[in-house]
């Protein structure tokens, strides 16, 4: 499809009203518009939410949605992306009920565990036997210890272990790594240690019973070097973790843009009726293309500057011009993070820098 046609089509879709549209209608009629990023709250309002000794006190999820029989989506809050406060990070979760057990998608932080468990228990009494980590970031994996206590075994694409070895130096070596840094700001990590998934796969793994087939897949790297997705071929549902998001939530801290764009092609090729991103609202088959469109807009701008022989220091002052270009693009703007940087690697400026360094 020509870019211009796609942009027009997606713009029309993005303009569709969402309220009251059932999931099936969203899936077939078009892309749900990503949420606008929340305006940062004043400090006083934040203080009431941030109870360092009781992070669970701020955990209020939207009610879970049954997106197909026995397949659930629990949307995490997105306030972190406006505040940058680690106490507020929550990923989206999902769970799939098999004949005898449950597969949970992403571990979240330990503080979110009891709330997620409570929601799962409203839908089934079957044991949560597996938890799939879509990548190594804390909001998707640091809760593994909590789920192990519930009897669940964590599973991931094998590249995730390499990422843990790179960044979790407190676990694999002697120097404090990311877990130790985060533990200074999140009291819910106390009483737990990092728990790398004990089960990994090379390209794919199937969990199947008489009634259901779930494919755990590595479709390529991008958001991290350890990205994995969950594909339900019969239901046409794809859980992408943070390798495909729906809205301005892209963190480029460990990203590789060159491989990420083709990985998104592989997601689009599955044509999922419903795409569950790691953060943001439910998406569909067009969500990967929308994210790619933002990536390409930034990539092409950075690449042209680099080819012209410019240094990052030279292009940094001109990033506001790129911001204007993206702000005027009806698709790309839905992935544009408002300035300034509110978390490491999380801003247009950080995206430009990471792309500049990795192309």
- Which residue ranges make up the site for Zn ion (CB under 5 A)? 91, 139, 242, 278
Nearest 5°: the CA angle 124, 125, 126 is 95
CB of 254 to Zn ion, least distance (A): 11
Handedness of CA 201, 112, 284, 358 (dihedral sign): negative
- Cβ closer to Zn ion: 91 or 116? 91
- Cβ closer to Zn ion: 163 or 242? 242
CA dihedral 337, 340, 346, 347 (to 10 degrees): 50
CB neighbours (10 Å) of residue 338?
A: 16
Angle, nearest 10°, between helix axes 257-269 and 287-307?
Answer: 150
Q: How far is CA 185 from CA 195, 252, 280, 347, in A?
A: 19, 21, 24, 21
- Cβ closer to Zn ion: 243 or 292? 243
- Cβ closer to Zn ion: 81 or 301? 81
* Angstrom distance (rounded) from CA 277 to CA 262: 17
- DSSP for 247-270, please give it: SS----TT--HHHHHHHHHHHHHT
CB of 283 to Zn ion, least distance (A): 15
- Cβ closer to Zn ion: 242 or 254? 242
CB of 3 to Zn ion, least distance (A): 28
- Cβ closer to Zn ion: 139 or 256? 139
CB of 99 to Zn ion, least distance (A): 30
CB of 337 to Zn ion, least distance (A): 14
CB of 117 to Zn ion, least distance (A): 20
Inter-residue contact 274 to 237 (CB < 8 Å): yes
């Amino acid at each position: 499809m020509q870019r211009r046609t796609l942009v027009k089509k997606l713009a029309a879709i993005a303009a569709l009203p969402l309220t009251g549209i059932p999931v099936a209608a969203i899936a077939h009629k078009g892309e749900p518009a990503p949420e606008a990023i929340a305006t940062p709250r004043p400090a006083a309002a934040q203080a009431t939410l941030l109870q360092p000794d009781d992070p669970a006190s701020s955990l209020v999820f939207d009610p879970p949605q049954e997106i197909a029989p026995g397949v659930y989506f629990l949307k995490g809050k997105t306030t972190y992306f406006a505040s940058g406060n680690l106490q507020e990070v929550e990923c989206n979760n999902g769970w799939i009920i098999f004949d005898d057990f449950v597969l949970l998608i992403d571990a979240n932080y330990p503080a979110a565990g009891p709330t997620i468990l409570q929601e799962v228990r409203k839908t089934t009494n079957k044991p949560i036997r597996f938890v799939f980590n879509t990548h190594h970031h804390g909001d998707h994996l640091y809760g593994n210890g909590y789920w192990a206590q519930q009897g669940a075994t964590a599973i991931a694409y094998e590249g995730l272990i390499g990422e843990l070895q790179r960044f979790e130096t407190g676990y694999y070596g002697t120097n404090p790594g990311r877990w130790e840094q985060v533990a200074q700001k999140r009291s819910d990590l106390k009483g737990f240690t990092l728990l790398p998934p004990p089960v990994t796969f090379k390209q794919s793994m199937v969990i199947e019973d008489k009634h259901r087939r779930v494919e755990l897949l590595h479709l390529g790297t991008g958001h991290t070097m350890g990205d994995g997705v969950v594909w339900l071929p019969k239901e046409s549902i794809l859980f992408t973790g943070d390798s495909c998001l729906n809205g301005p939530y892209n963190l480029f801290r460990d990203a590789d843009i060159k491989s990420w764009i083709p990985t998104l092609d592989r997601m689009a090729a599955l044509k999922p009726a419903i795409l569950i991103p790691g953060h943001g609202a439910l998406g569909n088959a067009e969500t990967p293309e929308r994210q790619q469109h933002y990536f390409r807009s930034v990539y092409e701008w950075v690449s042209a500057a680099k080819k012209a022989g410019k240094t990052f220091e030279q292009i940094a002052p001109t990033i506001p011009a790129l911001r204007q270009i993206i702000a005027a693009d009806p698709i790309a703007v839905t992935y544009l993070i408002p300035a300034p940087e509110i978390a490491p690697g999380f801003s247009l400026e950080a995206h430009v820098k990471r792309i500049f360094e990795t192309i």
